[in-house]
Amino acid sequence: MRAANHDIPVRWGDQDAFGHVNNSVIARYVEDARVHFLADAGMDMRPGVPHGPILADLHLAFRHPLFFPDTVHVATRAAHLGTTSVTLEHTLLNDAGTLIASATDIIVYYDYTAARKEPIPDGIRQRLAVE
């Protein structure tokens, strides 16, 4: 299955009162990597499009605190490609190579007009399946 890397610099404002990057920010890092990954695979991510991805499930496991200044290196891969969905796995590392968090999400290809899932188009399926 297809894989990609996405680097995100940690901003000073990403830290919380405990002095480390807040868990909700880690979820946004995963979202940022997911959006880039899916857009690169050909999914139209613009608001108002009639067909596109919708997040159906997200599991996020925190392993180590993250601090400013650092960079989050997010490795994303398509772990399973179904008819209407794709499962993505994300690994988040800091500059030292320490595992910060891991995440798994399920993206469903969705018809927003009819409010129902639909098969992932062949061109997108091919891009998701290429490694």
Q: Are the CB atoms for 62 and 101 separated by under 8 Å? A: yes
Q: What is the pTM of this model?
A: 0.94
- Give the Cα separation of 76 and 40 in Å (integer): 12
Please name which of 28, 52, 50, 30 lies closest in space to residue 39, comparing C-alpha atoms: 52
Across residues 2-18, what is the average pLDDT? 95
CATH architecture classification, 3-129? Roll (3.10)
Give pLDDT, residue 1: 72
Residue-wise pLDDT for 52-104, tens only, equals 999 999 999 999 999 999 999 999 999 999 999 999 999 999 999 999 999 99
Quickly state the pLDDT bin for 131 (edges 50, 70, 90): low
Residue-wise pLDDT for 12-45, tens only, equals 999 999 999 999 999 999 999 999 999 999 999 8
